[in-house]
């Protein structure tokens, strides 16, 4: 297996303006992680890079992780396994008698072993004893759900190579791993703004208050989850349609919420942000559009 971490460290993602969002005196750019690789794009590539390094140094036979039926993380892991020649196993929340989602059909076609577990079993996914047991059963290196954990965070430090010279860096927050990895390496005069896509009763906020570096300037916006993970209310669909027309494809779960939140905040803060340079991370996830009947690429595929 080639050195995935080195490959990731040398990537050169494009930076494009957020064209539908022009305000005199404010620069708004988008870091196009969605374009890095047609299959393993986005922040999941960076998180995986951290884990693949650790996996390479272990003696495990395969990589095992967890996810729901539309998981971007499982999708990226299956592609990485195919590309670099290692076996992958997915513990999927759900039942195998329902028709497989497009995401899981892809995973299966790429050679990933799908193991379905019920909700109660799936709840154990964060427990060390359960992970240990899975590791032994499958001789697997276990990656936390969403590619989280210290190794996933470590992989995300590479993202700060693109954030120099920006006053603010915005990104969508699921597990928060990407944001924590970026914050650990971010220049002290750049503010990190996370848009929480999960309605979690303040759990992420408490976690960040504990774990964000003391010197970091950060904010977590908790009011833009839009009814909760996995839902795509009509205001988000309108955002997606508006940006589709300009060729900036957004996914319903993460990046549409990010752009929506940013536009709302910009309305109120435009004066305060005069002269600033702002970078939005497009963290990919476009395969997830299929769950909402949206095309995955610009040519309508």
Ligand X SMILES: *Cc1c(COP(=O)(O)O)cnc(C)c1O
> How far, in Å, CA of 138 to CA of 215, rounded?
41
Question: Does the footprint of ligand X cover residue 208 (CB under 6 A)?
Answer: no
With CA atoms as reference, report the closest residue to 142 among 60, 43, 42, 57. Answer: 60
Measured CA to CA in angstroms, residue 131 lies from 75, 139, 144, 173, 281 at distances of: 20, 11, 9, 24, 31
For ligand X, what does the binding mask look like between residues 61 and 100, x meaning CB under 6 A? -----------x----------------------------
285: left (phi over 0), alpha (psi -120 to 50) or beta: left
Least Å distance between CB 241 and ligand X?
18
| Residue linked to tokens 């009814």 | 227
Question: Does the footprint of ligand X cover residue 178 (CB under 6 A)?
Answer: yes
Question: Does the footprint of ligand X cover residue 144 (CB under 6 A)?
Answer: no
Q: Are 289 and 296 in contact (CB under 8 A)?
A: yes
For ligand X, what does the binding mask look like between residues 157 and 176, x meaning CB under 6 A? ---------------xxxxx
What 3-state DSSP class applies to 55?
helix
Least Å distance between CB 251 and ligand X?
5
Question: Does the footprint of ligand X cover residue 43 (CB under 6 A)?
Answer: yes
Q: Are 230 and 265 in contact (CB under 8 A)?
A: no
Question: Does the footprint of ligand X cover residue 285 (CB under 6 A)?
Answer: yes
Nearer to ligand X, 50 or 94 (CB): 50
Nearer to ligand X, 26 or 158 (CB): 158
Single out the residue of 69, 144, 146, 226 in contact with ligand X (rule: CB under 6 A): 146
Name the residue whose CB lies closest to ligand X.
285
Count of chain residues binding ligand X (CB under 6 A): 19
**Which residues are paired to 15 by β-bridges?**
31
Note the residues at the interface with ligand X (CB under 6 A).
42-44, 72, 146, 172-179, 251, 254-255, 283-285
């Amino acid at each position: 297996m080639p050195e995935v971490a080195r490959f990731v460290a040398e990537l050169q993602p494009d930076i494009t303006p957020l064209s539908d969002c022009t305000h005199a005196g404010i620069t708004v750019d988008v870091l196009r992680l969605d374009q890095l690789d047609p299959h393993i794009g986005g922040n999941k590539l960076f998180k995986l890079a951290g884990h693949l390094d650790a996996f390479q140094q272990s003696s495990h036979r395969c990589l095992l992780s967890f996810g729901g039926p539309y998981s971007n993380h499982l999708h990226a892991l299956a592609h990485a396994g195919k590309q670099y020649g290692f076996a992958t196993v997915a513990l999927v929340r759900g039942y195998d008698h329902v028709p497989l989602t497009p995401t899981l059909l892809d995973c299966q076609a790429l050679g990933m072993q799908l193991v379905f577990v019920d909700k109660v079993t799936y709840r154990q996914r964060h427990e060390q004893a359960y992970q240990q047991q899975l590791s032994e059963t499958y001789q697997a290196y276990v990656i936390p759900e969403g590619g989280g954990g210290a190794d996933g965070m470590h992989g995300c430090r590479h993202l700060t190579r693109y954030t120099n010279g920006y006053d603010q860096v915005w990104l969508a927050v699921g597990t928060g791993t990407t944001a924590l990895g970026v914050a650990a390496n971010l220049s002290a005069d750049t503010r990190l703004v996370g848009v929480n896509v999960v309605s979690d009763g303040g759990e992420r906020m408490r976690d960040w208050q504990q774990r964000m570096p003391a010197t970091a300037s950060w904010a977590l916006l908790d009011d833009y989850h839009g009814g909760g993970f996995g839902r795509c209310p009509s205001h988000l669909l309108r955002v997606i349609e508006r940006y589709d027309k300009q060729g900036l494809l957004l996914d319903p779960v993460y990046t549409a919420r990010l752009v929506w939140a940013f536009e709302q905040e910009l309305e109120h803060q435009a004066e305060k942000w005069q002269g600033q340079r702002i970078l939005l991370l497009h963290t990919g996830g476009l395969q997830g559009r299929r769950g909402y009947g949206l095309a995955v690429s610009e040519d309508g595929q």
